[in-house]
Structure 1
Amino acid sequence: MRLVIFQTAMLALLVLLVVATLWGTALIVDSYEDGTLDVLKDAVARDADGGLTLSPTTDLAQLRSKVPDLWFLMRDRQGHRLAEGQVPPDFAPIVDGLDHINQARLGWKIGGSYRPDGLVKWVDTAAGDVQILTGTQGQMSLRRLVMGVSAGSLIVILPIFVLMALATLVATPLVVRHALRGLGRAAAQAERIDIDQRGVQLPIEDVPTEIGPLVKAVNDALARLDRGYERHRRFLTDAAHELRTPIAILNTRIASLSPGSEKTRLLEDATRLSVLTGQLLDFQRLDQQVSRFSPVDLTALARRVIVDLAPLAFAAGYEMVFEADEGAIVVAGDQTSLERALANLVQNAIDHGGRCGTITVRIGRAGCVEVCDEGDGIPNEERDRIFEPFHRLNQDGRGAGLGLNLVHEIMRLHGGRIAATDGPSGGACLRMTFPVAPRVASAPSPALEKP
């Protein structure tokens, strides 16, 4: 529709340009011979007695000021007459023979581009049919030129405009859609690009030539981002592998220490280092897990994680309870990643649960895993931010702030979500929810207590 409006405006501009050209160069104005006749025709009216008179129009006033020797003779079919000025002597013999003249051009140089000296013509006016004999001193007005050109142009332009409008409304969308079909495919591909997909490029086939450089620039930017991400990934992987050996040596030396509170604190610190190293490696391998998903029993997975971390929880002053509904909960996923996610939640409860009370791990029938503590809980305004990388509730707290972000990324890749809520005892409760949870019968799991 905007294209149709644009075309209409262009056609109107073309008409105005033609009018301005004709007016400015006087191609029509100087050769126009009906200027005086047009003004008189528009001014003719009837007086109270039915006779002919002239209305005081603006054009008539301008004509009288420009043509001081204005003359004319008017008559109608009823015999009424109206005259002004002195009829030139050369045309005086014609006055008596007007009954026999319908219209005529009067002068000594008729033909060619010369304007005649006088005209006689029957014209249709507001007073009816009137015969006017007058000179040709007047000129065409701009208003009459515009109206004349517009009326003449309308007859020619209107059919063309109708055809152009139909072509615009019908053909243009088809042409544009065909020309931009490649751009549509590029846009669809761009919508599918995500952080876990690298090496993706926008298709440049069938993209309009004018937009090709933009698509190429976007592809170059994506390639640079891929190379930067790869360098970042290799750095994390190398750093994590380099840390594993000194951490293993540290754990061995701590194990040789005599039992006591100092050994417990050192063991916690070393465990956090091990967890951080594992988190860095997990970030590196997250992208590669979607294609290798397999059925994972959440109940069995939770048992293994609790068995591994229960000694650490007991040493930190906690009780641990494991609750599971009847029937194993099976989801499609990567077992290593899910174990790491649950271990991070348990480790988070150990670090922030206040070193007292109970840490509860609960597996629900709806395909959710909850880890709850009895600590101070998580403020409402922080429940979304805790899943951001390197964000910690307490800046002097332990950990690097990567554990919950890693859980968030693992759940995103599994089509699930992680959320923070209030626990039954007022502490924090972190809940992992999976999209699918088929059930397989199994025996209920007992609670774990501190030995």
Structure 2
Amino acid sequence: MRTNSLRSRLLLVMALVFALGAGNVVIYLLDLDEDIRAHVLKEQVDTILATVTPAPDGSNLGALPVQFSASDWRYALYTRSGELVASAPAGTAPLPFRNPEALPETARAAITARLIGGDRVLVASRNDWEDCEELCQLFRERMAGSSVVIAILAAISLVSIIFLARWMLGSVRRAAELASTIGVAHPDRRIPLRELPEEIVPLAVSANQALDRLSSAYEIERRFTADAAHELRTPLAVLDLRLQKARTEQSPDWNAIARDMEQMRHLIDQLLALARADQGGDRPPHEPEACVGLARIVREAVADMLPAYEATSRTIDLDIAEGLVVADANRQLRQALRNLLDNAFRHGQGQVSVCLASWDERTAVLRVSDEGPAVRRGDGDVLFERFHKGVQNSPGSGLGLAIVRRILRNLGGDARIGTGPTFAIELIVPLAQPDTVRA
């Protein structure tokens, strides 16, 4: 039996407890003879003193019996200060003085002391070897019989412990059998918690949570693979046709080929960005939070897109409130805003406006609008769906706004269609609280 199994450990602990209990019984039986000797001595001294009371000068000490209850007795009479007054029988060495107040009632020796008349101490002792031998023989017989009973109880306890451990661990075994079936075919199965011992439940809960995370990661990977295969099929087919045509032409249309390559690069970048957003971003776990000014993030994102706008003679108007701070969201928010500006550049019209304002002490609103036609808010959610395009033949990937909403929701905010006469997207950005802002 493996010693690292829970069943083996239960058996070992319960067997140890049983052994300790049996050991205590044996020790108690071995000590019981001493207790009986002390009790018998006390009773016999009481009987002797009931017949003869020693005189203060010890003149009648010899009247005390030297043979009593098949034992040889000796006596010594002392003052309270420990001075010897008399001893009996004559010709024997006097017993040592003992303080009757310091001597416990359960003295484990065949000697005792009693206070006589308030100022005398009688020390009495007996030779109880014969009684001790009889007691030892009696206890040896009792121990022999008790050993058989203890052995039988040990066997019964061992069998009971085995069945108890099997019953206790039955639910764990069934949970393990079900957990072994969790896989690609049954990704939604989880370890049942109802029948598990409460000490095992936290482990099962953690395992179920880990399975939930793995299932989510698997679903993200499956969706990414399906999206990539679906969306890259058409541009790859178009590029293949252009390359086949280029082999037969004297002057291939390299500009068209370059546009197709750029479109595929853009699509792949968007797919990767969406996969990272689905996984909660690319910040390493347990990395300490860093608070950043929201106005700084907006200016950096606008600066990234400004060359493309200037190349087409379009402008970006800024209206930014200062002093708004976000925690640990620099790269994610910057990417979301760049996606909005790229979306406005590719599909919007006229001047683009970026407005940042506080909604309340916990939330800011970042609004990006252009001069294109407005969309009703009730009809706007479809624009945030993956691969949805306002104009199906447009060169975009249909992922920009889906990435934006995913990033904002990962941060605890959201993205929505803004109200007004022109097209606008509003980002609801959670702000850092004062106790998290670093000096």
TM-score (norm 1): 0.39
TM-score (norm 2): 0.40
